[in-house]
Amino acid sequence: MRLQNDKQIFNLMDTNGRRNDVMNALQGYLTILDDILRNKKLVWKNLPESIAQFEFYLRAITMSPDVFKQHNKFDKLMRGISPEFRKALETLNTVWFQNNYTNYSEWNDIIDESVEKRARHYTNNLVKLGFIDQSRQITEVGDILLSKLPLHRDILENLLVLDNINITYLRQLLKLRIFDKSGTRYYSPFCMAIYVLLRKKRFSQEEFCEMIQGLSPYHDNINYDNFIDNYKKNDIIQMYTTSVPIEIDNDDEIHEQTFRKYFTNKKSRNSIIVYYNFYMSLRNFIINQTNENLSVMLDIYENNKSMLNKAFGYGNNIFKNRRGNRPSAIDFIKAEKTDFFTHPLNSTLYLRFIRSKTMDIIREYSDTTIRIFKATGLISFENGYVELACSDLCKCIFDENVIKSMISGNDNFKAYEDINGSFCKEHCLISILQYTDDKINDIIKAVRTEFNNAPIKNIPDIIRKRRKLDFATFIEKSYPEKKVKELLAMFSDRSNDGAIKEKVNPDATVPTIYEYIVGIAWYYFSDKTIDILSSFNLTLSANFEPLIHAGGGMGDIVIYNRNSVVMLEATLMNANSQKRGEWEPVLRHSVNLKAENEDKDVTTFFIADTFDFNTINLWKAVSSVPLQSSTDKSKYTENVIIMPISSNELITLIDHKHEYNVIIKKIRQLFLKDITTFDKEWREKFISNIIL
């Protein structure tokens, strides 16, 4: 991506369409784009040349109704279009639009601004991370994210014990470059983040975000070591030069019309009135320092404290004075020691306003940046601090000098963003960091030394065991049994979705959170005997937060033991929707798992809030018929067991933790006792007899 000037703050997700569940949004948008461009063969152009952008927007808001709750202009459009227009949309009839679109000129602005422009914004977020190019073609790394292409790990990536989505984001962020307008100078925010955490093991999250988000390719003469070592809150603002307009660079009173010209607020015009009243009261107090003028000024400030702090205080309190306290004017000035009383007011207020606005944008955009950084599984954000997960291993893998050299430099933007360029192509960690064979050998030696000279092949298992223990501690602290039961009970009422996200992770969707909580509930049901962390088919952050359901055609949770395999398929679909959305994938996953593990007892549990009669009996019936694997057509399997369990029943099962193995055994006996010999060729024999 390119910045247009030295004042612009980069952002990894366009303001239009920004949302908390960033990973789910990107995965969903990429999936929709794949279907529209490849399966439906549409071209990424606007009407009347193509329906692609209109179709994308419609699919996007349908995919996430909890996010896109209001789209009044679009709704009005859909109510007003003719049956012919609607039919052409539903059938993707581009030819009809090319012949008839001029007859619907009254809808052009709404379609352009409220539909197609939004589609371009949403997909632009995929461009920024290299999953598609500017023409919306899906790149090689985009296909890896979709699990359409395999991800090839190198030896260092195997050591990090991250899932494929984590690795994909780690690679892309290490390659990510923010260019200046000329497209020649770049800044790499993620490399800066890694370097900060290599140099300082633990960093304040607030200061970390200011540094990473606030820098740009225009800041190219920085001593990074001094900058990191001596950084203090709000220092980033000194990197931005601001000149005071001549019209207000004096001691004269700024008239309201002039004030409105320079102290703008696009979101709220009423805010400018508050700003001006504050300015006038502050000016009156400075000119005539009476207790009465002080009281007027403090009244205005305290009644609009949040707004004024945001506008003129970098988000912090402008004055230290306690609310309601009215000291004398002399004592107030002595106590505050603010630049309002030592510098020209007009220029001071203006500089505070511009700098506060810049800080506000930095904080706003850094929220999304953090969420995307979390997808790597490599950076921990916890309790207001940031650090590298597995920092001992990371210090061996990421050479400080190499990472530092990647923070900024010169490159060609057009070549960089090309679909055949390095950003859009698969490159492993070793390739991205340009490590030589000698360097890799040195890293392996350093890693082995760090892990008591363990063989390099054993180190991933050592890290997995360490994370398993850390996860167990995390569950005990963050998700005790009582809380898990309370959360499971909340899912039946979808009006609880917002509360559930706040209690677990706003970055994830509620269905993803349901899978996560079901897994933890099963961990308690097993009396903590299973390795639930390795069993999740979820992408987690470094802090063990659920982010997104990983692809790959596997079940939600697959628990391997020496002689058995248990798979959990969790869904929030209601009884009617289950028939359409879950019957096929649950059966397919169960059959494939059974076919691949014939030497073990394989049991699937289908977990939902409610079931319909047919679902319950269908799962019982399939255990008595032979079924074919969808991944290997030569494989057939029998005795596929799928047991429906409701959320409330799972809550009760937690209290039977000491009977875990007994209950699993009883379920298997229940299914197996009714199985009879089944002739796989029954239909062919019957048809043959009729025909003959």
How many angstroms separate the first and last alpha carbons of the chain? Answer: 70
Residue 154 has pLDDT above 70, yes or no: yes
Q: Are strands 564-570 and 601-608 parallel, antiparallel or unpaired?
A: parallel
Residue 637 CB contacts under 8 Å (≥ 6 apart), including other chains? 591, 594, 595, 598, 626, 627, 629
Angle 164-175/189-199 helices, nearest 10 degrees? 100
- Counting other chains too, the contacts that 83-91 makes at CB distance below 8 Å and 24 or more residues apart are 88/51, 89/51, 89/54, 89/55, 89/58
Least reliable range by pLDDT among 225-234, 266-275, 679-688: 679-688
**pLDDT by residue (tens digit) across 426-437?**
999 999 999 999
What stretches of 80-209 adopt beta strand conformation (E)?
178-179, 185-187, 203-204
CB atoms within 10 A of CB 631: 11
- Tell me, what amino acid is at 4? Q
What is the average pLDDT across 251-257? 94
What is the average pLDDT across 525-543? 94
Give percent of the chain with pLDDT exceeding 90.
76
What is the average pLDDT across 113-117? 92
Compare 620 and 661 and report the one with higher pLDDT.
661
**pLDDT by residue (tens digit) across 485-494?**
999 999 999 8
Residue 552 has pLDDT above 60, yes or no: no
Q: What is the mean pLDDT of the chain?
A: 92
Tokens at residue 382, please?
Answer: 């916890």
pLDDT bracket for residue 636 (50, 70, 90) = confident
CATH code linked to domain 458-672: 3.40.91.50
Element counts in the chain: helices (H) and strands (E): 35, 14
Residue 10 CB contacts under 8 Å (≥ 6 apart), including other chains? 1, 3, 178, 187, 189, 213, 216, 365
pLDDT bracket for residue 687 (50, 70, 90) = low
Contact between 404 and 226 (Cβ < 8 Å): no
pLDDT bracket for residue 616 (50, 70, 90) = confident
Angle at 85 between CA 82 and CA 90, to 5 degrees: 125
d(CA 471, CA 32): 34
pLDDT of residue 692: 61
What is the average pLDDT across 617-646? 88
pLDDT of residue 681: 74
Compare 215 and 575 and report the one with higher pLDDT.
215
pLDDT of residue 691: 78
Burial class (CB in 10 A: 0-12, 13-18, 19+), 665: middle
What is the average pLDDT across 582-603? 90
CA distances from 278 to 253, 271, 275, 313 (A): 13, 11, 5, 13
pLDDT of residue 174: 98
Tokens at residue 274, please?
Answer: 């508050």
Residue 49 has pLDDT above 90, yes or no: yes
Least reliable range by pLDDT among 59-73, 282-296, 316-330, 419-433: 59-73
What is the average pLDDT across 583-593? 89
Domain limits, the chain = 22-138, 155-237+361-450, 252-343, 458-672
